[in-house]
Structure 1
């Protein structure tokens, strides 16, 4: 596969497959031997939420196709999809208890398991994610219920994808920090963990 590369505004070489390595912070890989160049590998920083707008400044949105939103008014700091994705990661409940007798605990690997974890302010983590999403946006008048269903359906997919991307990113991070090598996402996706 041919890789196109160019120099970015910081003077570093960027190329196809480097998107997983871009971001804030970084560590330099020191080349050993003659003719080896020093290359900086960038670690993607955690996505953060923008400040919550005042209620009268929220963008009005309408649910469109799967996970797509049409912004009818206002200029949001981030897209509705990216806000939902960050909220799903921010309020990830971790290990949830599935049953009392026998006690069964598993990671919250799907959106339904967010409902199993109670919260002090909201009934559960599902409700918390959706309530915080609506602090950033306002649904088009008359489409509030449809917009709520669309947001929940999008979260269902984001949570599933979150685990896939976490596995891929773990491989990339391991190669960068332990093996001191770059690992493009396409190759990271092909790696499977074994007990060996």
Structure 2
């Protein structure tokens, strides 16, 4: 039914004395006059009766808000969408309006920055939270790096320390590979995106290891003051206190 035919049918409806419209259930199924019939372009619509404004607005708003706020299971911006968008930009030869430079599609595809949740799982634990715990569990201690034996303060130290075989007979080669490898004991990666997911994990670990030592310093100050000085120190104040050998 075209927009013009639909418009004519709505205009021809006559109110029944007992309620509803005359001919309901026999000639038509209208229970009320749609407000869409008042649109000036209703006659030009090919499928006017398929428009559901409320659900269209609701779904569109939810998708937009979920994407902007990066809400898992609500966002509509996943790896596949990003890849298709980058490929479309590359094939069209579009350039950035502000600088006039062409978009470096390959750079975005080679170096992903964030995690994308494709579907839910059995737990709600954060990816970086689990990576942080694995960094602490597999802390190498002293590491030989750049011909120097020093505490493993950076992710590069994890990369330089050889791994050892675990109870399951697994050996990942280095401590860094073990941390990232054991992440997949908690998650499943969509087929074809394993390399990109490992890049995101490695990128995250650089900051996680740095933050781990920063938090360790704060906790050490709080614990020392509580055990030896018998006073309570808040974390905000502990950031500015540095322990010495004396």
- Shorter-chain TM-score bucket reads 0.5 to 0.7
Q: Which runs of 5+ in 2 are unaligned?
A: 1-77, 83-111, 165-170
SS at match of 1:83: helix
Q: Which runs of 5+ in 1 are unaligned?
A: 1-61
TM-score calculated relative to the size of structure 1? 0.60
SS at match of 1:148: helix
Rounded to whole Å, the distance in 1 between the matches of 2:127 and 2:189 is: 11
1:191 equivalent to 2:241? Answer: yes
Q: Which has the higher helix share?
A: 2
SS at match of 1:173: helix
SS at match of 1:72: coil
- Change in Cα spacing, 1:178 to 1:96, as seen in structure 2 (3 Å) is same
1:172 equivalent to 2:222? Answer: yes
Match of 1:81 among 128, 134, 138: 128
> Do 1:67 and 1:81's aligned partners in 2 also have CA atoms closer than 8 Å?
no
Aligned to 1:114: 158
Rounded to whole Å, the distance in 1 between the matches of 2:234 and 2:116 is: 30
- Change in Cα spacing, 1:168 to 1:123, as seen in structure 2 (3 Å) is same
- Change in Cα spacing, 1:67 to 1:174, as seen in structure 2 (3 Å) is farther
TM-score calculated relative to the size of structure 2? 0.49
1:154 equivalent to 2:198? Answer: no
Single out whichever of 155-164 and 65-74 deviates more from structure 2: 65-74
1:132 equivalent to 2:132? Answer: no
SS at match of 1:135: coil
- Change in Cα spacing, 1:122 to 1:152, as seen in structure 2 (3 Å) is same
By how many angstroms is 1:79 displaced? Answer: 1.8
Rounded to whole Å, the distance in 2 between the matches of 1:67 and 1:186 is: 29
- Change in Cα spacing, 1:67 to 1:88, as seen in structure 2 (3 Å) is farther
- Change in Cα spacing, 1:66 to 1:193, as seen in structure 2 (3 Å) is farther
SS at match of 1:92: coil
Pairwise CA RMSD: 2.5
